[in-house]
Amino acid sequence: MLPDLHLHTSRCGHATGDMEEYIAVARYRGLKSIGFADHVPMYWLPPGERDPALAMAEEELPRYIESVRRLQRANTGLTIYLGIEADYIPGCEDQLRTLLCRYPFDYVLGSVHYLGGWGFDNPDLVQEYTRRDVDELYRQYFQMVQQAARAGLFDVIAHPDLIKKFGYRARMDLRELYEETARACAEGDVCIEVNTAGLRVPAGEIYPSLDFLKLCRRYQVPVTVGSDAHQPHLVAYGWDRARDWLLAAGYRELVVFRERRREVIPL
């Protein structure tokens, strides 16, 4: 069973279930390793403007880590990694770097969820797509992902074509953007994530698209896998399809992390 490195918990304010429940499902499904990657506190905003329904408060972070440590000790036979999902906000790199180096994360998933302040993956803000030029949006999005890949902050780029989430598809040929982005990941020495949450939203397709994933493979960008579960029953969601997707792109191995160092495991 592939390791699921992208699990959220009720701590983030928009997921349900505590860590024990995610672990129970992981065990039931026969996983040998998982990683929690809850949303990082909204470091780019002053504390008073942070939305408790989007991420945990900063005071919660030590408790998050302590919970993972306790569960690691209590769960022999299941490897539990300590991850975090961190938003990439251009201009706030130093704040994020300072925050991340204070804690002993095994890995950091880097995510682009905002374009110029618009949370484009937020279902409440989906109307904004109709006011935008979708091709232009894809250009902006992939440019931001490339910047994130080169920022030296992240181990993995999460859901690398999240911009397709609500089914707004570019009219232009995306090949060049995909290739530039795959190259940025290789040059920035980051992995990309095969994320099955795309199957559960209007996009109806794993992140990233197979064409993009093939280019990542060509540029020798390593991969991780994640369900992005926000409910316990979604642990390892779509795992057979994730494996097929990886094999179709030519991958034969994936990576996990310990103290931010990669470990390669066969697919």
Q: Under the rule (CB under 5 A), what is the footprint of Zn ion?
A: 228
Least Cβ distance, residue 159 to Fe ion (angstroms): 6
**Which CB, 162 or 174, lies closer to Fe ion?**
162
Instruction: Name 7's bridge partners.
Output: 36, 229
Residues in contact with Fe ion by the rule CB under 5 A: 85, 111, 228
Closest CA to 54 of 35, 36, 40, 68: 40
Least Cβ distance, residue 252 to Fe ion (angstroms): 26
**Which CB, 188 or 198, lies closer to Fe ion?**
198
**Which CB, 39 or 220, lies closer to Fe ion?**
39
Least Cβ distance, residue 118 to Fe ion (angstroms): 15
CB 203 within 8 A of CB 169: no
Give the start-end residues of each E strand in 26-167: 33-36, 79-87, 107-111, 114-115, 118-119, 156-157
**Which CB, 162 or 221, lies closer to Fe ion?**
162
- The helix/strand/coil state of 74 is helix
Q: Is the peptide bond before 160 cis (omega within 30 degrees of 0)?
A: no
Residue 87: contacted member of Zn ion, Fe ion, none (CB under 5 to 8 Å, by partner type): none
Least Cβ distance, residue 65 to Zn ion (angstroms): 18
Least Cβ distance, residue 266 to Zn ion (angstroms): 26
**Which CB, 106 or 228, lies closer to Zn ion?**
228
CB 206 within 8 A of CB 225: no
Strand ranges across the sheet with 223-226:
4-7, 33-36, 79-87, 107-111, 156-157, 191-195, 223-226
Nearest residue to Zn ion, by Cβ distance, number only:
228
Residue 106: contacted member of Fe ion, Zn ion, none (CB under 5 to 8 Å, by partner type): none
Closest CA to 79 of 193, 156, 3: 3
Least Cβ distance, residue 111 to Zn ion (angstroms): 6
- The helix/strand/coil state of 41 is coil
**Which CB, 161 or 228, lies closer to Fe ion?**
228
Show the tokens assigned to 200: 């559960």
Q: 101 — phi, psi (to 5°)? A: -80, -5
